Structure 1
Amino acid sequence: MKLRNIQNLFFLLITVFAASCNPDSSNNGGSKSHLPIARGEANAILCVMDTSQWNGAVGEALRDIFSDYVPGLPQDEAYFKLRNINPLKMNNILKTGKSMIFVSTMDNQGAQSRAMQNYFTSSSLERILQDTSLYRLPQKNQFARGQEILHLFGQTEGQLIAHLKRDKDVLRNYFLNIENERIAKAIFKVREKQIEKTLRETHGFDFQVPYGYDLAKNQRDFIWVRLLDPEYEKDVFVHYRPFTSRDPFEDVLAFREEITSSYMRDIQKPDIFMTLQNENMNIREVNFKGKYAKELRGLWKLSDISSGGPFVSYLFVDESQKRLYYLEGYVYAPSKDKREFMQEIEVILNTFRSGEELK
């Protein structure tokens, strides 16, 4: 980022909301202990903006970013639930939302839009009018502890929409990372440290295992941990082998079938094994914890079609160990939404460490 833009963002950071926030003499040290705790659903965002813009092109651009469907799930589930808040109807309860977006453009002078502009000082409004590259500003704990706010602004609607479309993934990932951090904080309060120790000492890798998971299978080159509940099941398994060929990267689906047909068979009925529901999978190249990887998202089933659900997996090489790894997490939760379950699985997978990472 250019130095001038950094300076401008810093200027906005210290001036935005100055017009609407009263100084607290007991808070000179920057403590937010007097604020209420932020509340709200997981994956829900309150979008404070002029309702005419919400129902127009700006709102459509926001919904395209945040209400798009998560790939690899058996039913349509959005990344986030967006709720529009009329700025003239903001109250102390709404201000405690965990995740919020404040949207304003200078070319709209309706009563609601003017109310949005009141959140900025005159100096910060001038800076916005001077620099078209400025359009977003994050802010924490403004009205409540544990709160995340993202300001989106522009001189015109068209200008802001152009920024939103260009940085679609950046903006979505901003809130995805926030939600993942909240999930991690909740599920890793208590962990299965003995299982983690076994993974490190026996297999040369580990990942954080939340309380309640069991080590269902522990073989020379394969491990499987799972959490069983009367209404759902969450599972993670890892297979590894010496890295001798890049062939698995050329056909990830066939490689997965080889693994699951060998290791994921019913103990009492060995003719039943895990397979794919279909081959219409979402496969892409990703950076998995600093390593080139193939990510696979799709739907699994048992070969007798008795159960199934979504899964996500990563195939990559640990050069320090000269190992090929295949990590997968999947969920079985009939008659339930799968979005939040799969988020938890992804958070677990992203704690994976191997080789030099363990030193």
Structure 2
Amino acid sequence: MKLSHVNHLLLLALVLFTASCGSDNKPSDKLSSKSHLPVARGESNAILAVMDTSQWNGPLGDALRDIFSDYVPGLPQDEPYFKLRNINPLKMNNILKTGKSMIFVSTLDNQNAQSRAMQNYFTSSSLEKILKDTAIYRLPQKDQFARGQEILHLFGQNEAQLIAHLKRDKDLLRNYFSNIENQRISKPLFKIREKQIEKTIRDTHDFEIQVPYGYDLAKNQRDFVWVRLLDPEFEKNIFVYYRPFTSHDPFDDVLAFREEISSSYMRDIQRPDIYMTLQNENNNIREVNFHGKYAKEVRGLWKLSDISGGGPFLSYTFVDESQKRLYYLEGYVYAPSKDKRVFMQEIEVILNTFRSSQDLKK
């Protein structure tokens, strides 16, 4: 991001803050007032979209739904990234203002009562800046009406302009709230950890991964470690495989690489003829940056070879050049008759705590 663009955002943030809070407050008053704000409320993966209802029911609303209500890949049932709910700006009240995640959407070309109410969140200076600079269309704010709240302002001179920005930055906007949700999950998930299991993994395998309370060490071999949480209604699993890096071949077909690992290590102890394999459908593969390392991410579906169980999985294949190791990390869930979205978010959060010994020294 260019420095001038950052300065514009900072200036716009200042004028927006002034518009929302009133210009008579002293800086110390603003800071102290945060502690008296109510705690943000709302369910996980839910966003309130405060905007003109006519725009919500038109192309602008469609663009937002395409970003936030799209289905998460690699799940057995259709589950959206976020539950998106429209709020009429004329019906905003103190309860609705405490939503955990909110989007305030407005364009200056619409002048009906609801749109004018949206423009009241801006000062005349910020409106003038929006009219002059078409590159600026979004602004995040924290704890505006409640503690623990995340608000994203999306704005433009007209609908067509804002829709173009939304379509161009679809992944960026979705990831903004996905990262927020992962941070919210992380705090209670790691409040208590299995420190002894973490130490065993670190001492044995020369890497670190955070293990939440309740997980057991299911398997610990020279080049493979598996931890799992067993519950009467579901189970969550994390395993890590590694070997010396000698070839890029596994990156050419990461699904075949997974089959090689699961058929060798993920077999039923009492019935070794049963092993974990792929369902060969709904597998989403993409290139990602995994803590500064090139990686192949897979979100897909697994099953047991006798079809007695199955569910979603998430994996990362990458090379740690400092260790000269090829790593395969996977987390998977077995939760029949339950939604899998939040379970898989927990899996993602755990996998992303992985650090090699060299990473920890940086």
| Pair in the same fold by TM > 0.5 | yes
**Who is 1:251 aligned against?**
253
Q: 2:205 aligns with which of 198, 203, 206?
A: 203
Please show how residues 126-275 of structure 1 align to structure 2 within 5 Å.
126-275=128-277
- SS at 1:138 equivalent: strand
Equivalent residues of 1:238, 1:328 under 8 A apart: yes
The count of corresponding residues between Structure 1 and Structure 2 is: 359
Residue aligned with 2:21, SS: coil
Residue 36 of structure 1: how far off its partner (Å): 0.4
Instruction: Provide the C-alpha distance between the structure 1 equivalents of 2:103 and 2:30, rounded to a whole number of angstroms.
Output: 27
Report if the CA contact (8 A) 1:192-1:210 is conserved: yes
TM-score with structure 2 setting the length: 0.97
Q: Aligned Cα RMSD in Å?
A: 1.3
What residue identity is the alignment partner of 1:176? S
Structure 1: distance between partners of 2:50 and 2:21 = 17
TM-score normalised by structure 1 residue count: 0.97
Q: Tell whether the 8 Å contact from 2:73 to 2:282 is kept in structure 1 after alignment.
A: no
How far is the alpha carbon of 1:24 from its aligned partner? Answer: 5.3
Cα separation, 1, equivalents of 2:87 and 2:139 = 19
Measure, in 2, the Cα distance between the counterparts of 1:97 and 1:166.
Answer: 27
Counterpart for residue 30 of structure 1: 31
Task: Provide the C-alpha distance between the structure 2 equivalents of 1:83 and 1:279, rounded to a whole number of angstroms.
Answer: 31
| 1:44-83 matches, cutoff 5 A | 44-83=46-85
The superposition leaves residues 141-160 of structure 1 with CA deviations (integer Å, 9 ceiling, x where unpaired) of: 00000000000000001110
Q: Decide whether aligned partners of structure 1 residues 280 and 20 sit closer, same or farther in structure 2, where only a CA change above 3 A counts.
A: closer
Question: Deviation at 1:279?
Answer: 4.9
Partner of 1:90: 92
Percent identity for Structure 1 against Structure 2: 81
Asked if the contact 1:101–1:149 (Cα under 8 Å) also holds between the matched residues in 2, the reply is yes
Q: 1:7-50 CA distances to partner (integer Å, 9 max, x unpaired)?
A: 22111111114334245569526131010000101100000000
Q: Secondary structure at the match of 2:176?
A: helix
Change (3 A) 1:43 1:290: same
Instruction: For 2:117 and 2:253, locate their aligned partners in 1 and report how far apart those are by CA, in whole Å.
Output: 55
Question: Is contact 1:293–1:316 with CA below 8 Å preserved after alignment?
Answer: yes
Structure 1 unpaired stretches of 5+: none
Once the two structures are TM-superposed, the CA of residue 232 in structure 1 deviates from its matched residue by 0.7
Shift of 1:4: 3.3
Aligned equivalents of 1:355, 1:44: Cα separation in 2: 37
Provide the residue aligned with 1:7 in structure 2: 7
Q: Secondary structure at the match of 1:28?
A: helix
Aligned to 1:196, what secondary structure does the other structure show?
helix
Aligned partners of 2:177, 2:217: CA distance in 1, in Å?
A: 32
Unaligned runs of 5+ in 2: none
| Aligned counterpart, 2:301 | 299
Name the SS for the 2:70 alignment partner: coil
1:18–1:119 CA contact under 8 A, matched in 2: no
Superimposed CA distance per residue, residues 181-226 of structure 1 (whole angstroms, 9 cap, x where no aligned partner): 1111120111111111111101101111111111011111111000
Amino acid of the residue matched to residue 98 of structure 1? K
